[in-house]
Amino acid sequence: MFKIPNKFLIFLGIYYSSIYGSAQDCPEFVGLGGSCVCSKCFPPLQCSTNKICSQAKCDSNQWANLPWSPSCEDDGSYSPKQCKGEDATGRCFCYNQDGKRIFGWSWLKDAENMTCACSRRREELAATRPDLSLHCSENDDGDDVGSKYWRQCESKKIARQKILVKLRAHGRVFSFIDEALCDGDGSFASYRVDRKTVFCTWKDSSRLENYQTPIGSVRNMNCNCARDTRIFNDEGLENLLTCETNGNYEALQFSNGRPFCVDSDGYAITSLGGWGDASCPVISR
**Residue 73 is assigned to a structural domain of this protein:** yes
Q: What's at 28, amino acid-wise?
A: E
**Residue 140 is assigned to a structural domain of this protein:** yes
**Residue 75 is assigned to a structural domain of this protein:** yes
pLDDT at 150: 54
**Residue 208 is assigned to a structural domain of this protein:** no
Summarize the confidence of residues 271-283 as an average pLDDT: 73
18 has pLDDT over 70? no
**Residue 247 is assigned to a structural domain of this protein:** no
pLDDT averaged over the chain? 80
Q: What is the CATH number of the domain that holds 99?
A: 4.10.800
Contact assessment for residue 251 and residue 195, using Cβ atoms and an 8 Å cutoff? no
172 has pLDDT over 80? no
pLDDT at 19: 46
**236 contacts: CB under 8 Å, gap ≥ 6:** none
**Residue 107 is assigned to a structural domain of this protein:** yes
pLDDT at 13: 45
pLDDT at 16: 40
Contact assessment for residue 100 and residue 106, using Cβ atoms and an 8 Å cutoff? no
Say whether 115 sits in a helix, a strand or coil: coil
Domain count, the chain: 1
203 has pLDDT over 80? yes
Residue percentage of the chain with pLDDT more than 70: 79
Summarize the confidence of residues 62-90 as an average pLDDT: 86
Q: Which of 61-75, 216-230, 270-284 shows the lowest per-residue confidence on average (mean pLDDT)?
A: 270-284
**Residue 198 is assigned to a structural domain of this protein:** no
**Residue 111 is assigned to a structural domain of this protein:** yes
| pLDDT tens profile 47-58 | 877 888 877 778
Summarize the confidence of residues 117-129 as an average pLDDT: 86
Domain range spanning residue 113?
Answer: 69-149
> 131 falls in which pLDDT band (50, 70, 90)?
low
The order of strands in the sheet holding 81-84 is 81-84, 91-95, 101-107
Strands annotated E in the chain: 29-30, 40-41, 46-47, 53-54, 81-84, 91-95, 101-107, 191-194, 197-201, 207-214, 252-255, 258-261
User: What span, in angstroms and rounded, lies between the C-alpha atoms of 200 and 262?
Assistant: 20
| pLDDT tens profile 78-121 | 999 999 998 888 999 999 998 889 999 999 999 988 999 999 99
pLDDT at 106: 94
Residue percentage of the chain with pLDDT more than 90: 31
**220 contacts: CB under 8 Å, gap ≥ 6:** 31, 33, 213, 246, 248
203 CB-contact burial (10 Å; exposed 0-12 / middle 13-18 / buried 19+): middle
Summarize the confidence of residues 68-87 as an average pLDDT: 90
User: What span, in angstroms and rounded, lies between the C-alpha atoms of 99 and 83?
Assistant: 13
